[in-house]
A and B are shown apart, each in its own frame.
Chain A
Amino acid sequence: MIINSRFFNRSELMGFIVLAAVLFVILPLTLDVFRLNLVAKYLTYAFVALGLVLCWGYGGILSLGQGVFFGLGGYCMAMFLKLEASSVENTKIQSTPGIPDFMDWNQITSLPLFWQPFHSLTFTILAIILVPGLFALIIGTAMFKRRVGGTYFAIITQAVAAILTILIVGQQGYTGGINGMTDLRTLKGWDIRPDHAKIILYFVEVVLLFACIGIAQFIRLTKLGRILVAMREQEDRVRFSGYSVANFKIFAFCMAAVFAAIGGAMFALNVGFMSPSFVGIVPSIEMVIYTAVGGRMSIFGAIWGAILVNFAKTSLSESFPQLWLFGLGALFIAVVLAFPNGLSGLWADYVQPRIDRLFASRKSKSGWNDNSVADGAPAE
């Protein structure tokens, strides 16, 4: 029982150390700034994958609309950055200086009301968390209180993703339309484009990611996490035991939304723009694929999935511009057919037992009490 109160069990601790070593030390030392910035971009999807582990892997709620929250977070950040980039001085070529360029092209002559508060960074940071959080709360309440779940819920989230894309594209005077918001430059006067800024942003992002990993792990280990798993396996039993299943589901869905939104905001900062192509159905499904490839039951697996799939995407498209999509598709099919639990399943089945054996033999030699290390992992 002592083991269960530990924050990480042994294999998780190892996953944590490996990930921390790779992200904090190995990658920054070996990659040039351009590639490091690409990793930063991949990591923004790791936030989404982390949320999906909570909500899909543990809670059993498949959301095919995480792009919505990624997009809301990203757009909140992008609106702040765009306003800062659209100072009167930068935009004097326009008919109305001082408003974002796409508004000027769309014959809008003054800043719309809902844009005004995004002059404030504090408001923006709150909005990044609260707007997607509240939106998820509304969707979640509407769905889960009526006991809509499973496939129906997945379809509805997908519809929401489609609706939001159409809304953003259609209201181009207010949102930048299909072009998105481009040419983001500074954060409170600090230029986000040069190399040293990219490195700082990378580390900020990694620290945030580890904070989110901490939160996810904490949720997993509390009673709440156990109830989520129980709900996934036998929803009715949990309900009959007196728990409000809907509230737990809403909570998991909101957490996933907030994680995705943080990823989106970091995306806008790292990549320097935001567009509806991250909001729609296709990117939302891609996000689920990262999680599936990495392993939806494993926090670290999902993060590796996000990094590796995106890395494969970049390198395949660089080497085979015409054929890479087929290669990527084949990779997904292969992974899902051959390893349904993703990379982390592969690890748990083949690599982990060897390591365990290694440790076990060492320990018995040194005469430690072997029982204390016995299966401390939560039952899944």
Chain B
Amino acid sequence: MSDEANKGLLSPLRRKLLMGMAAVPAITMLPRASFAQAPATSAVNTTGLAVTDTEVTVGILHSATGTMAISETGSIEAEKLAIEQINAAGGVLGRKIKFIQEDGASDWPTFAEKAKKLLVNDKVAAIMGCWTSASRKAVLPVVEQYNGMLYYPTFYEGLEQSKNVIYTGQEATQQILAGLNWIAKEKGAKSFFFIGSDYIWPRTSNKIARKHVENVLKGKVVGEEYYALGSTQFNSVINKIKLTKPDVIFTDVVGGSNVAFYKQLKAAGIDLAKQPLLTISVTEDEIDGIGGENIAGAYACMKYFQSLDNPNNKAFVPAFKKAWGEKTVIGDVTQAAYLGPWLWKLTVEKAGSFDVDKIAAASPGVEFKGAPEGYVRIHENHHLWSKTRVGRAKLDGQFELIYETADLVEPDPFPKGYQ
């Protein structure tokens, strides 16, 4: 069944191209382990996973259809690219990675059903998947019950930690705090206006942001408004913004609502060059829909921008575009999804086994020097140490890096004093 989906990448031309490019980040990192003699299957797989002498199977579980497909497609592409590159560089413990792709169809119960299918029927060694918090919440009990390993790419609200999940995106404090510190210092911001979509991630993020503004930055939150997912009417909140004149508009509006929000902001005469706006929910993918001219000047707080200037990223961006087309853009989550298969491979090699328990135990401390965002390391709490970066949106839909933290920021999914 996965062969259907595989064909796109396996065309001879693409394969050749990929083999060549894939070696760039891979070879520098793992010259020894990747070409080592494959150990016996019985030694590396004691729990009946889908591992043979030549192959190991993993699952890819995202929405290929439905409202979330537009966001999750980038993650699917990044994961397939990473798997292809790992295979080109010799695979994992001498075994090629084969993947089975399942469609979560933007429907949380379907995610749970498919996760169970991947674990119980297909016995996959790991799942790269989920995007929204809701889908992760639906899948989490399944991976815990059947002892699977999930690599989850999206920045999210925190308040969660599981032996069976590696969170390759940022949790809320990692994403928010450094950005707020920067804008408070740089723009002398004292008053903030929060606008978010109405669900768990924006609400939790704003809760953390509010505590930070009030307790640490000694500023004031002059407004906090939520809109239903998919909402397209922001005129009333824009009027309130005009009345309260906040130093900074802080937004976590998600998905299609962004398009309406930024267009209406512009139509109302709010010039983002003069009115600082900090968003934690707009990546290059969203700008594709919003249009660069509507959002130019806004600041986004992420850990990765496609425009990052480092050797890893300079190899990654062309490889991604060759595989998936010149026009594709790479957002924060796409990059985080790319980390999943690599981190899993590195962990398997560190543990010397595909067993989930051993991988869970070996994960803390695993570092990936070939990450397009620079360098990441897995924390004891299964989140990643990452840098926080602020970028300014440009007309062409790309971000210009304005600020990055000097050191990696420690992940803290249960932040004390912020709950």
Tell me, in angstroms, the Cα distance from A166 to B199 when the chains sit together: 12
When the two chains form the complex, which single residue of A32, A41, A172 contacts B200, counting CB atoms closer than 8 Å?
A: A172
B204 touches A321 (CB 8 A): no
Asked, given contacts A105-B159, A324-B65, whether A182 binds B141 with beta carbons under 8 Å apart, the answer is yes
B65 touches A95 (CB 8 A): no
A-B contact pairs, 11 of them (CB 8 A): A34-B117, A34-B120, A37-B116, A105-B159, A172-B203, A180-B134, A278-B109, A317-B114, A321-B5, A321-B101, A322-B103
Residue B145, interface by CB 8 Å: yes
When the two chains form the complex, which single residue of B113, B199, B228 contacts A179, counting CB atoms closer than 8 Å?
A: B199
Which residues on A sit within 8 Å (CB–CB) of B116?
34, 37
A179 touches B200 (CB 8 A): yes
Q: How far is the CB of B79 from chain A (nearest CB, A)?
A: 13
B65 touches A325 (CB 8 A): yes
B229 touches A178 (CB 8 A): yes
Tell me, in angstroms, the Cα distance from A105 to B203 when the chains sit together: 9
In the complex, per-residue mask of B103-116: 1 if CB is within 8 Å of any chain A CB, else 0: 10101111011101
In the complex, per-residue mask of B87-119: 1 if CB is within 8 Å of any chain A CB, else 0: 000000000000001110101111011101100
Total count of chain A residues near the partner, CB < 8 A: 38
Q: How far is the CB of B22 from chain A (nearest CB, A)?
A: 24
B200 touches A169 (CB 8 A): no
Which residues on A sit within 8 Å (CB–CB) of B108?
179-180, 273, 275, 277
Asked, given contacts A34-B117, A106-B203, A273-B112, whether A170 binds B198 with beta carbons under 8 Å apart, the answer is yes
A38 touches B113 (CB 8 A): yes
Asked, given contacts A166-B228, A180-B138, A325-B65, whether A271 binds B203 with beta carbons under 8 Å apart, the answer is no
Tell me, in angstroms, the Cα distance from A324 to B63 when the chains sit together: 12
Q: How far is the CB of A247 from chain B (nearest CB, A)?
A: 37
Q: How far is the CB of A1 from chain B (nearest CB, A)?
A: 49
When the two chains form the complex, which single residue of B103, B121, B199, B207 contacts A321, counting CB atoms closer than 8 Å?
A: B103
- A180-B108, A180-B137 given; 18 more Cβ-contact pairs under 8 Å: A34-B117, A34-B121, A95-B419, A105-B204, A107-B207, A172-B198, A178-B200, A179-B137, A272-B112, A273-B138, A277-B108, A317-B103, A317-B105, A321-B4, A321-B103, A322-B103, A324-B65, A325-B105
Which residues on B sit within 8 Å (CB–CB) of A33?
120
Complex: chain B residue closest to A183, CB-CB:
B141
Q: How far is the CB of B308 from chain A (nearest CB, A)?
A: 30
Q: How far is the CB of A48 from chain B (nearest CB, A)?
A: 15
Tell me, in angstroms, the Cα distance from A271 to B114 when the chains sit together: 12
4 shortest A-B CB distances, which residue pairs? Answer: A321-B103, A179-B134, A34-B120, A183-B141
Interface residues of B in 6-50 (CB under 8 A from A): none
Tell me, in angstroms, the Cα distance from A304 to B161 when the chains sit together: 42
In the complex, per-residue mask of B138-157: 1 if CB is within 8 Å of any chain A CB, else 0: 10110001000000000001
Tell me, in angstroms, the Cα distance from A321 to B65 when the chains sit together: 8
In the complex, per-residue mask of A190-233: 1 if CB is within 8 Å of any chain B CB, else 0: 00010000000000000000000000000000000000000000
Tell me, in angstroms, the Cα distance from A179 to B101 when the chains sit together: 23
Which residues on B sit within 8 Å (CB–CB) of A2?
none
Tell me, in angstroms, the Cα distance from A178 to B132 when the chains sit together: 10
Q: How far is the CB of B152 from chain A (nearest CB, A)?
A: 15
Q: How far is the CB of B233 from chain A (nearest CB, A)?
A: 14
Tell me, in angstroms, the Cα distance from A102 to B200 when the chains sit together: 8
Which residues from chain A sit less than 8 Å from chain B, CB to CB?
A: 32-34, 37-38, 41, 93, 95, 102, 105-107, 166, 169-170, 172, 177-180, 182-183, 193, 271-273, 275, 277-278, 314, 317-322, 324-325
A178 touches B199 (CB 8 A): yes
Residue B238, interface by CB 8 Å: no
Which residues from chain B sit less than 8 Å from chain A, CB to CB?
A: 1, 4-5, 64-65, 101-103, 105, 107-110, 112-114, 116-117, 120-121, 133-134, 137-138, 140-141, 145, 157, 159, 198-200, 203-204, 207, 228-229, 414, 419
Which residues on A sit within 8 Å (CB–CB) of B105?
317, 325
A321 touches B64 (CB 8 A): yes
Asked, given contacts A107-B207, A321-B5, whether A169 binds B229 with beta carbons under 8 Å apart, the answer is yes
Tell me, in angstroms, the Cα distance from A11 to B103 when the chains sit together: 40
Q: Which of B5, B138, B229 has the most CB of A within 10 A?
A: B138
Q: How far is the CB of A161 from chain B (nearest CB, A)?
A: 16
Complex: chain A residue closest to B134, CB-CB:
A179
Tell me, in angstroms, the Cα distance from A250 to B204 when the chains sit together: 44
Which residues on B sit within 8 Å (CB–CB) of A38?
113
Q: Which of B105, B109, B203 has the most CB of A within 10 A?
A: B109
Complex: chain A residue closest to B103, CB-CB:
A321
Tell me, in angstroms, the Cα distance from A93 to B162 when the chains sit together: 13
Complex: chain A residue closest to B5, CB-CB:
A321
Complex: chain B residue closest to A322, CB-CB:
B64
Complex: chain A residue closest to B116, CB-CB:
A34
Tell me, in angstroms, the Cα distance from A105 to B64 when the chains sit together: 29
Which residues on A sit within 8 Å (CB–CB) of B204?
105
Which residues on B sit within 8 Å (CB–CB) of A105?
157, 159, 200, 203-204
Q: How far is the CB of B62 from chain A (nearest CB, A)?
A: 9
Tell me, in angstroms, the Cα distance from A321 to B103 when the chains sit together: 5
Asked, given contacts A166-B228, A277-B108, A321-B103, whether A178 binds B134 with beta carbons under 8 Å apart, the answer is yes
Tell me, in angstroms, the Cα distance from A130 to B137 when the chains sit together: 30
B117 touches A318 (CB 8 A): yes
Complex: chain B residue closest to A267, CB-CB:
B109
Tell me, in angstroms, the Cα distance from A380 to B34 when the chains sit together: 71
Complex: chain A residue closest to B60, CB-CB:
A321
B200 touches A177 (CB 8 A): yes
Which residues on A sit within 8 Å (CB–CB) of B138?
179-180, 182, 273, 275
Tell me, in angstroms, the Cα distance from A41 to B114 when the chains sit together: 13
